[in-house]
Amino acid sequence: MKSIYDFTVRDMEGKELSLSEYRGKVLLIVNTATGCGFTPHYEPLEAMYRDMRDRGFEILDFPCNQFANQAPGSEDEIHKFCTLKFGTEFPQFAKIDVNGDNADPLFVYLSTEKPFAGFGKGLKNAALQKFSDMNNKTFGDKAYIRWNFTKFLVDREGHVVARFEPTVDMAEVRAAVDAALQA
């Protein structure tokens, strides 16, 4: 059975890094954007990282510009924004595509393991669904990720155990991470 450790990604300098470097850790893998309405998620993400990293927790941040051009900067510009505005210390990787023919294989795998199940109920979620549908129609069946700040929880064995759309309350995400760390 395939696991997250079978994948290689590029760090901010473009160097290849095997995710097996994170073997034995609980991971939260996130596609991000600096100009998104969900960008404030960086704050609770960083708080989780600071509170839980000593327990074997890592957040892996993958900037993506496929959603309404909300991450147009270079890797360096994005990194400076995140560290200066939100004080982020968790690993940030090279900007990638998460949808379409050039989708990073890691995100294809994550999305296959935990497919999109909707944004939830409510007017805001319905509006995001409509906007997401318009944005992602060009990707067809390769619209793996529906919007920025989709989060995947990976257990210590490298298996994807949960997917959180950006509309999920961050307290719920934190509780799931805490439970995975205790397992």
pLDDT digits (tens, 9 = 90+) for 37-63: 888 899 999 999 999 999 999 999 999
- Say what the pTM is: 0.93
How many contiguous H segments (helices) and E segments (strands) does the chain have? 5, 6
Q: How many domains does the chain have?
A: 1
Q: What are the residue ranges of helices labelled H in the chain?
A: 42-52, 75-86, 105-113, 123-136, 170-182
Higher pLDDT among residues 67 and 30, named by residue: 30
Q: Which of 25-34, 74-83, 168-177 has the lowest mean pLDDT?
A: 74-83
**What CATH number did the domain enclosing 105 receive?**
3.40.30.10
Domain residues for the domain of 69 are: 4-182
What is the per-residue DSSP string for 123-137? HHHHHHHHHHHHHHG
Distance CA 165, CA 107 (A): 14
Could you say which of 4, 9, 30, 36 is catalytic?
Answer: 36
- The per-residue pLDDT for range 90-122, each reduced to its tens digit, is 999 999 999 999 999 999 999 999 999 888 888
Phi/psi of residue 152, each to 5°? -120, 130
Whether 64 is a known active-site residue: answer no
